Amino acid sequence: MVTDVLKEMMNAALSAAAVDGAIALEAMPPVEFERPRKREHGDWSTNVALAAGRGGDNPRAIAQALIDRLPPSDMVESVEIAGPGFLNFRLAPKWLHDVVFRASDPKSGFGRTDEGAGIKVNVEYVSANPTGPISVVGGRHAAVGDALSNLLEATGHEVVREYYVNDAGRQIRLFARSLSVRYLEQFGVPGEIPEDGYQGEYVIVLARRLAEELGDRLVHASEEERDATMRRIGLERMLAEMRATLERFGTHHQVWFLESSLQESGATRSAIEKLGAGGWVEERDGARWFLSSRLGDDKDRVLVRSSGEPTYLASDSAYLLDKSRRGFDRLIYILGAGHHGTVPRWLAAAEALGIDRSRVEMPLIQNISLVRAGVTVRASKRAGNVVPLDELVDEVGVDAARYNFLNRSLESPLEFDIDLVKQQAPENPVYYVQYAHARISSILKKAEEKALRVQDAELGMLTHEREDSLMRKLAAYEETVPDAAHRRAPQRLTRYIEELATDFSAFYRDCKVVTDDQQLSKARLRLCLATKSVLADGLSILGVSAPERM
RNA sequence: GCGCCCGUAGCUCAGUGGAUUAGAGCGUCCGGCUACGGACCGGAAGGUCGGGGGUUCGAAUCCCUCCGGGCGUACCA
């Protein structure tokens, strides 16, 4: 990346200036390059001189001293001092030509870095209770988790996508109970859904199917046996359904981890013991408490209820240990905003178990409100009025749904206007971007018919203002991907892709690609090819398709 | 009460590890098509960055405080 080259040059200048006493430095100021908003301010700008001038020296004088000591480079055309002491760099055309060549060559690794090489990351996301269909909220989680995983892979990390299934606690029991009641109803046996049970229509649908498949043989079974069967089959069916929903949505979890497996293997018990051995557990009122308040939590938390049943926290502790044993350097849990209260206890558990808490990361995704015909639809799983992800996908399609989930920062509540997202029109950014891609495909096809070859393109031909803007935007891809990965901010990539499509459209409008001028046509084709590759690559990181025609 | 998130253009939102004149999409208004896909392009109007204080040469960005909205505050997660 160019900024690496520029930083190196700047550091060399700083050292030189420090050595010959031109500037007094207590410590080397950090060199950061950023893109100026205004083109007149050059291609790249740094404020090192201002940072170095904190001691009171004149930043502009420092800036000049640094310029005088910059090593020569064929990348840099000129450097200017601006305003209070900014250094504005103008780069040589070679820089952009290099970008276009690399961007249009799939083997160049354009937009990829290896900063994550050797780092193993576990990304756990969605992990909704297996007691109902994946909801639209789950969809946002799926889109974000998948895009973040892709971003981490693009920056060289080894990623495992994981789904944790809470199949051992109270919720699954309530679900089984609710299913039993609905099953019995099929045979005219009245019953009542337990308080906090599952009222959703889908429970009735499933019960009806089970009634057909199993007949009435469970009607006369003991309640215990009936519930156990409902639990087993219900879980199996729900998991299959959830998996199908997620696959259809284009996300794939490599690992489906069952909470029950931790209890069966004794991992939960040994995690509790390990916490106890560390002196983090205390018996109180017949329950066993984890002393999380000593590790930054507001209060202590129950690990084992007085009934003897472990809480989720006990399983979660065992799960932390399990992940750690599997060799992950980083554990990312993508959680819903409603779980923020649990974060301190998880981090406390990690620390008590000897897992450095800085290795555990818990981004919180805010809620969604669905708007249809101007009316907000609120969701609640137990009341049964969730909007299933499948329903949303039926209505707006996978691409539009994903794109809109990835359009905003995670920590921002998202208003999802179904009518708006459904529009297959250029006003809808996802189609605007896809259209740009399809249009390039069409141009390339046309060029192929004319037997134009891009290999020997002379990029010096690209001097039009639109071409220049487009090349600069392509160059920005190399910073955008790692930046989005670092910040866990897929929306940065979404924005970028949109800007790229915009710059391409302007270029397309003003610069005819396939003309009688062979040299110019080849150069422009190469630029088209580069743009197409980057659009397709960015979209694939987001999990959105890049159609050849629409 | 306490904790977390949000408050930026009419609407939906970027930008928030300070830095040169605050952005996008939609909507509104004006202009441009015998087009390699017009599902487009160009331009305009529109903002005391929730209010107030502070730190700084410089704050949408950092600190304090207040207001408004959401969520959480269980031997549920």
Mean pLDDT calculated for residue range A353-364: 92
Whether residue A277 sits in one domain with residue A377: no
Query: Of A56, A91, A126, which closes a domain?
Result: A91
Give the other-Cβ count within 10 Å of A123's Cβ.
Answer: 26
pLDDT at A169: 82
Helices (H), A249-325: 259-264, 267-277, 312-325
pLDDT at A517: 85
Using C1' positions and the CA of A446, the closest nucleotide is B36
Whether residue A536 sits in one domain with residue A484: yes
**Using an 8 Å Cβ cutoff, are A424 and A431 in contact?**
yes
φ, ψ of residue A541 in degrees (nearest 5): -65, -35
Q: Looking at the 3D structure of chain A, how many domains does it have?
A: 4
pLDDT at A385: 60
pLDDT at A320: 95
Residue A324 domain boundaries: 265-361
Mean pLDDT calculated for residue range A30-48: 75
End-to-end CA distance of chain A: 34
Burial of A484 (0-12, 13-18, 19+ CB in 10 A): buried
A411, part of any domain: yes
Whether residue A529 sits in one domain with residue A443: yes
Whether residue A528 sits in one domain with residue A441: yes
A509 touches strand B (CB under 7 A): yes
Q: Is the pLDDT of residue A92 over 70?
A: yes
Q: Is the pLDDT of residue A536 over 60?
A: yes
Q: Is the pLDDT of residue A221 over 70?
A: yes
Distance A491 CA to B47 C1' (A): 23
Helices (H), A511-548: 518-542
**Using an 8 Å Cβ cutoff, are A49 and A63 in contact?**
yes
pLDDT at A56: 57
Interface residues 55-94 of A with strand B (CB < 7 Å): 82-84, 86, 88
- The CA distance from A256 to A274, in Å, is 25
Q: Where does residue A415 fall: left (phi above 0), alpha (psi -120 to 50 degrees), or beta otherwise?
A: beta
Tokens standing for A53? 């001038």
Nucleotide B38: nearest residue by CA–C1'?
A509
A182, part of any domain: no
| Strands A368-372 vs A364-365: parallel, antiparallel or unpaired | unpaired
Q: Is the pLDDT of residue A454 over 70?
A: yes
DSSP letter assigned to residue A461: G
Query: Of A64, A91, A118, which closes a domain?
Result: A91
- The CA distance from A341 to A344, in Å, is 7
pLDDT above 70: percentage of residues in chain A: 95
Q: pLDDT for A223-236, tens place per residue?
A: 999 999 999 999 99
A105, part of any domain: no
CATH number assigned to the domain comprising residue A74: 3.30.1360.70
**Using an 8 Å Cβ cutoff, are A371 and A414 in contact?**
no
Opening angle at CA A97, ends A32 and A477, nearest 5: 50
- In one-letter notation, the amino acid at residue A391 is E
pLDDT at A291: 93
Whether residue A521 sits in one domain with residue A460: yes
A454, part of any domain: yes
Burial of A312 (0-12, 13-18, 19+ CB in 10 A): middle
Mean pLDDT calculated for residue range A180-189: 94
Q: Is the pLDDT of residue A374 over 70?
A: yes
Helices (H), A335-489: 343-352, 389-396, 398-405, 418-422, 429-449, 465-486
Q: Which residue has the higher pLDDT, A456 or A400?
A: A400
pLDDT at A28: 67
Tokens standing for A267? 């991992």
Q: Is the pLDDT of residue A347 over 90?
A: yes
| Strands A287-290 vs A301-304: parallel, antiparallel or unpaired | antiparallel
DSSP per-residue string spanning A62-79 = HHHHHHHHPPP-SSEEEE
Residue A3: pLDDT band with limits 50, 70, 90: confident
Whether residue A532 sits in one domain with residue A438: yes
Q: Is the pLDDT of residue A380 over 60?
A: no
Q: What average pLDDT is seen over chain A?
A: 88
Determine the longest span between alpha carbons in chain A, in angstroms: 94
Weakest-pLDDT range from A21-30, A309-318, A490-499: A21-30
Give the three-class secondary structure for A171.
helix
A452 touches strand B (CB under 7 A): no
Residue A359: pLDDT band with limits 50, 70, 90: very high
pLDDT at A25: 65
Whether residue A412 sits in one domain with residue A395: yes
Whether residue A305 sits in one domain with residue A397: no
Pick from A351, A356, A357, A342: nearest CA to A278:
A351
Q: Is the pLDDT of residue A384 over 70?
A: no
CATH number assigned to the domain comprising residue A451: 1.10.730.10
Pick from A238, A170, A166: nearest CA to A207:
A238
Q: Compute CA A264 distance to the chain's CA centroid, rounded to the nearest angstrom.
A: 33
Whether residue A504 sits in one domain with residue A535: yes
pLDDT at A253: 96
Q: Is the pLDDT of residue A24 over 80?
A: no
- The CA distance from A108 to A1, in Å, is 12
A330 touches strand B (CB under 7 A): no
Whether residue A412 sits in one domain with residue A386: yes
Whether residue A396 sits in one domain with residue A320: no
Q: Is the pLDDT of residue A453 over 70?
A: yes
Whether residue A519 sits in one domain with residue A445: yes
Q: Is the pLDDT of residue A464 over 90?
A: no
Distance A344 CA to B7 C1' (A): 26
A489 touches strand B (CB under 7 A): yes
Give the bases of strand B that a protein CB approaches within 7 Å.
3-7, 12-17, 19-27, 32, 36-42, 57, 69-77
pLDDT at A80: 82
A494, part of any domain: yes
Query: Of A69, A91, A113, which closes a domain?
Result: A91
A206, part of any domain: no
Mean pLDDT calculated for residue range A83-99: 83
- The CA distance from A335 to A343, in Å, is 9
Tokens standing for A542? 């987001």
Using C1' positions and the CA of A445, the closest nucleotide is B36
A123, part of any domain: no
A185, part of any domain: no
